[in-house]
Amino acid sequence: VFFTKGVGVHKEKLASFEMALRVAGLAHCNLVLVSSIYPPGCKTIPKEEGLKLLQPGEIVFAVYDRESNNEPNRLIAASVGLAIPADSSMHGYLSEHHSFGETDEKAGEYAEDLAASMLATTVGIAPVTEVLWARLLNLDHLDRCSSSLPHGRKKKVKRQK
């Protein structure tokens, strides 16, 4: 898995999405949207390495989010968050979030927290607020990834002992 991001500007939504895919390096691929499961044992690789593996016209399974608008200066954001369990034999979660009036940082935090919340329920922890994460999960396993579509974030979550 790798993360990338792109922004496109055009009067037509489809064309602006195409422009964003060009910036992200994926315009030559056929994207198939999939749900939010990060496979057990999966590895995150650098964008440059991942793009080298893709051929023109290839079908690429992807988790992505997008947002668009036609209002000048309207703040929009789209983000994908990733939560990886400390036990690599378990699956993790990817979550998508898009919004108006929210910075990419705030949207990224939301997507990250949503993914971590989904993962927490699979390891027997009820969803909690960000303030409680550090205490409950000993978040020395917290990682952040700064590149996704358009703002990548990930958390590693370990089972409470």
pLDDT values of the chain reduced to their tens digit, one per residue, 161 residues = 999 999 999 999 999 999 999 999 999 999 999 999 999 999 999 999 999 999 999 999 999 888 888 888 888 888 999 999 888 899 999 999 999 999 888 988 899 889 988 898 887 776 655 545 555 555 444 333 333 333 344 444 444 44
pLDDT confidence of residue 31: 95
The answer to whether the peptide bond before residue 85 is cis (omega within 30 degrees of 0) is no
pLDDT confidence of residue 150: 35
The verdict on pTM exceeding 0.75 is: no
pLDDT confidence of residue 39: 95
- Cα–Cα dist 140/48, whole Å: 28
pLDDT confidence of residue 42: 93
Q: Which domains does the chain have, with CATH numbers?
A: 13-65+75-157 (3.50.20.10)
Residues 11-46 pLDDT 10s: 999 999 999 999 999 999 999 999 999 999 999 999
- Helices of type H across 34-139: 47-52, 104-122, 130-137
DSSP string across 32-48: EE--SEE-TT-----HH
pLDDT confidence of residue 1: 92
pLDDT confidence of residue 158: 43
Contact status, residue 137 vs residue 160, Cβ threshold 8 Å: yes
Burial class (CB in 10 A: 0-12, 13-18, 19+), 52: exposed
Contact status, residue 83 vs residue 152, Cβ threshold 8 Å: no
Tokens 């999960």 locate to: 137
